[in-house]
Amino acid sequence: MTLTAELVDLLGTARVLDHPLRRHVYGKDGGVTRGDVELVCLPDTTSEVVEIVRIARRHGLPVIPRGAGTGLAGGAVPLGPAVMIVLTRMDRIEDVDVESKTAWVGPGVINLELSQHTHRHGLHYAPDPSSQSTCTVGGNVATNAGGLHCLAEGTTVAHVLAVEMVTADGEVVTLGGEAPDPIGLDLRAVAVGSEGTLGVVTRVLVRLTENAPASQTLLLAFDDIENAAATVSAIISEGIVPGALEMMDRVTVEAVENYVHAGFPTEAAAVLLAEIVGTSAGVAAEANRVASIARANGAIDVEIASSPAQAALWWKGRKSAFGAVAQAAPDYYLHDTVVPRTKLVEVLRAVYAIGRKYDLLMMNVFHAGDGNLHPLMAYDSAQPGVLDRVHAAAEEIVRASIAAGGALSGEHGIGIEKRDLMGLTFGPVDLDAQARLREAFDPEQVFNPGKVLPEGSRCFDYGRPPVGAEA
């Protein structure tokens, strides 16, 4: 039987997409790279995933898992002929365990819908990437997604207790578990953030977080980005860890203000939004302390949201930043690097200089508390040669971040976008260890081949290398 016939036999015609136009849709994610998809499968169950993996292997084709396709690093873009498994139909929220604050969910569950579903129990799912109304939990597991609340809550890996995964052998394994610290090696930690290269995640045990009884949002405006950064450091060194601490630069504030009219001061060089969560008296006390820290660090405007509606509008402004860019240009490239918090100003200055050098409009809206930068370059892809400039600028931003002691990615992952930059931060022996780890799960690179690790990462032959061996 042909590949298509076998898969249609398993899933029926409606859940196997081979029309060129429909396949075209799946050839791209939220990033800028496009690939060709051989065939798209839409399984409903774990056992269907097992069968698809077996069929693909029999036909010698690799398997690419995909969620909603909101990833920005090309992690779900095929680099050659492959069978794509789209997991969005596996979107069941199984029993929510209110007492243990956990839930087993399908990988296709939409991030925000999980929090909406558990709201009645006073619980939510803490990782909240800006794409949370469309991205899936399975995709979040693949990229170890972050969001606005990582400063206090950590990224996806801190909120996933176990995954059920289909391996290259077509086995179904559970990594991690309901009880704390399951015995043996923590393979769950390796699966989270593995960008679909180790297997297909078919169920996820998530940890849920209590909703805060009270919260308060502050808007802090500065006429100098340095004062804003100093305020971020001062808040944290005073022992306050806000739920979220987000910064927007002038260009972003202007674009957002035009778009949603949130009441942001457009004359400011930088605006900080700080969210304090906790019990009501505690929140009020901490909000006052944050306000006085900001004033002591030269804030030109300090406002505490007068109502939940005002706070919601401010946060809507922050979350609309990427949509607001459309006013400036039809396309954008959203970057993701992390630097030590104390290097924010230095790296931001470098980012602006890179924007000027390549004649690109550079906007910065980012997770200041984490040192997680998201420079956004707005451009018009109809302009000849512009993508080359965007890519060159993106690489320079990575180099500037690494030079400041930072990392390639805080929450988007490596995918194809940053694969060949891995050597900037890891040596050949480091990459070889990563490649060996991948090999332990998937020796024949059935899953998402060519992603994350640059070609040649597996630099030594099997067994122990000779002492002093060079790559």
Residues between 413 and 432 with contacts to other proteins, criterion CB under 8 A: 413-414, 418, 422, 425-427, 429-430
Considering the complex, state which of residue 236 and residue 329 has its C-beta at the smaller distance from other proteins: 236
Considering the complex, state which of residue 33 and residue 211 has its C-beta at the smaller distance from other proteins: 211
Q: Yes or no: say if 278 and 231 are a contact pair by the CB < 8 Å rule.
A: no
Please give the radius of gyration of the chain, using alpha carbons only, rounded to the nearest integer.
Answer: 23
Torsion of CA 378, 267, 356, 338, to 10 degrees: -70
* Long-range contacts of the stretch 112-118 (C-beta < 8 A, 24+): 114/206, 117/93, 118/208
User: Which residues, in sequence order, are CB contacts of 43 under 8 Å at separation 6+?
Assistant: 11, 15, 49, 52, 85, 87, 89, 90
- Residue from 111, 131, 155, 202 touching other proteins (CB under 8 A): that is 155
Per-residue binder mask for other proteins (CB under 8 A), 75-114, x = binder: ----------------------x-xxxx------------
- The answer to the question of residue 166 lying near other proteins (CB under 8 A) is no
The residue type at 410: G
- The answer to the question of residue 282 lying near other proteins (CB under 8 A) is yes
Q: Supply the DSSP symbol for 464.
A: P
Q: How far is the CB of 185 from other proteins (least distance, A)?
A: 5
- DSSP for 372-423? EE-EEEEE-TTSTTHHHHHHHHHHHHHHHHHHTT-BS-SSS--TTTTGGGGG
Q: How far is the CB of 260 from other proteins (least distance, A)?
A: 27
For the sheet with 200-207, list strands across it. Answer: 93-97, 102-105, 200-207, 160-166, 172-176
- Using the rule CB under 8 A, give the single segment among 27-35, 59-67, 218-226, 366-374 that binds other proteins: 366-374
- Residue from 19, 60, 95, 183 touching other proteins (CB under 8 A): that is 183
Q: How far is the CB of 184 from other proteins (least distance, A)?
A: 5
- The answer to the question of residue 298 lying near other proteins (CB under 8 A) is no
Q: Which of residues 210-269 bind other proteins (CB under 8 A)?
A: 210, 212-213, 233, 236-241
- Residue from 1, 5, 25, 179 touching other proteins (CB under 8 A): that is 179
Considering the complex, state which of residue 36 and residue 395 has its C-beta at the smaller distance from other proteins: 395
Q: How far is the CB of 266 from other proteins (least distance, A)?
A: 30
